[in-house]
Amino acid sequence: MSVRFWELTGRQVDGRDLSVMFLPVGVLERHGLHLPLGTDTLTAVYVAERVAERVGGVVLPPVWYGSCMAMRNHKGTFDVSQDALVRYVVEILREAHRNGARLVVVVSGHGGNTVALHYAARQAAMETDLAVIVVDWWKDAAVEERRKLFSKPGHAGEDETSAMLVIAEDLVDLDSADYVEVERLPIRVYHKGIEEEIYSKALTGDARLASREKGEKWLSAVVAEIAEDVLAVARRLGITV
């Protein structure tokens, strides 16, 4: 049976254990010239579905609209406010809880959403007895594998492009793949000018080094690690999935 919540019929949902739900959250955002605008949503959905297939549970429809400061001047980027995102995600979490979820795993595909997602998770967890995991799949899991596999990762870089070659190869235009040196700042700084400069091509790292094989190795390590972590939390909560 499908792990996609929106594909279940009324009869199927009546018989389904809904204690564990996955919520993929992405954004519409420019990713260089070679990756689709929906990259961060497509990757989050892929990771959520593969983990759900392993541990059980259902995947909710993704949140397609997110918050993006750095790439907002590039055509193709939609930027909604942090406030709007927090409120929307809190309400989705409340509804998940009302439908029987005891644990929601928010699988985030976009760094610009991270602060808002943690804030929303905390708010929902304070209001109800729902447990919420927030995971930035590309940086919170399989950290060592990512370091070993990719010498020039980045936004739409070697790592993300490799993942997309696994997830939606037909949407990747490798002939347009490019390279932009990653500028490392000594500390996190919010400034329109600096962000626009760093992401002047909506790309960091070397997308030309991407391969499907590296993407497969990385994603399978990511899925295995998140699945293990989710199972550990479910056990801690006394949930049998």
The interface region with Zn ion, picked from 11-19, 32-40, 93-101, 192-200 by CB under 5 A, is 32-40
CB of 111 to Zn ion, least distance (A): 8
* Smaller CB separation from Zn ion, 21 or 116: 116
CB of 39 to Zn ion, least distance (A): 5
CB of 147 to Zn ion, least distance (A): 18
* Smaller CB separation from Zn ion, 19 or 39: 39
**Residue ranges of the alpha helices (H) in 32-129?**
39-55, 82-98, 114-127
Binding residues for Zn ion restricted to 33-62, rule: CB under 5 A: 39-40
* Smaller CB separation from Zn ion, 116 or 239: 116
Between CA 78 and CA 73 the distance in angstroms is: 9
Between CA 175 and CA 177 the distance in angstroms is: 6
* Residue type at position 145: E
Number of residues near Zn ion (by CB under 5 A): 2
Between CA 172 and CA 84 the distance in angstroms is: 31
Residue 114 to residues 7, 127, 135, 170, 176, Cα–Cα distance (Å): 28, 20, 9, 28, 29
130: left (phi over 0), alpha (psi -120 to 50) or beta: beta
CB of 112 to Zn ion, least distance (A): 9
* Smaller CB separation from Zn ion, 58 or 134: 134
Binding stretches for Zn ion (CB under 5 A): 39-40
